[in-house]
Amino acid sequence: MDAVENWHEFNVALVGATAALAGLVIVAASVNITEIVKATSLTSRLAAGIGGLVLALTASAIGLIPDITPAAYGVAMVVVSAVCAVFPAQATRRIFENHAPENRGRTFKALVGFVAPLAYLIGSILLIAGSPTAGLAVFAAGSILAIMAALIISWVALVEVLR
């Protein structure tokens, strides 16, 4: 059994969990969507959170492709990570454009969205470099971090809109 195949059950669980969580975040945001879209930084931050979940979902789905090699998995995830990093980059721009006094903790708000794409990028480099065990372990950490970041981003954004 190869390294990627060893993570099959983990990837199956993550595909279901991240898909369900992304759906729940979207439904929760839709309740106050009128207020959320008025605050561009909130909209961008929610997009970054959902993007992190989609990144974890995509990573796990790619890991389920039969006979995918670690190197091919790594290359695919470099591309997916780069695409998903666009969302926290946009959120960062919006966060720092907002100079309202209540917009505290800008750096933390900006950095939390980059945690998952960075973890997946590091894991990808390890896979491409021939260290599948380490690369896949970093992917697992990236999945967990993506879920944590999405929950933090979503909770804060949904609470901020009610202030």
Q: What is the pLDDT of residues 98-117, one digit of tens each?
A: 777 777 778 888 888 899 99
| pLDDT less than 50: residues of the chain | none
pTM attached to this predicted model: 0.89
pLDDT at 108: 85
Show the DSSP H helices in 32-85 as ranges: 33-38, 40-63, 70-84
pLDDT at 1: 55
- CA–CA separation, 53 vs 20, rounded Å? 10
Six token digits for residue 92: 């960062």
pLDDT at 16: 95
| Cβ pair 154, 43 in contact under 8 A | no
Q: Domain range holding 59?
A: 3-160
As for how many domains the chain has, the answer is 1
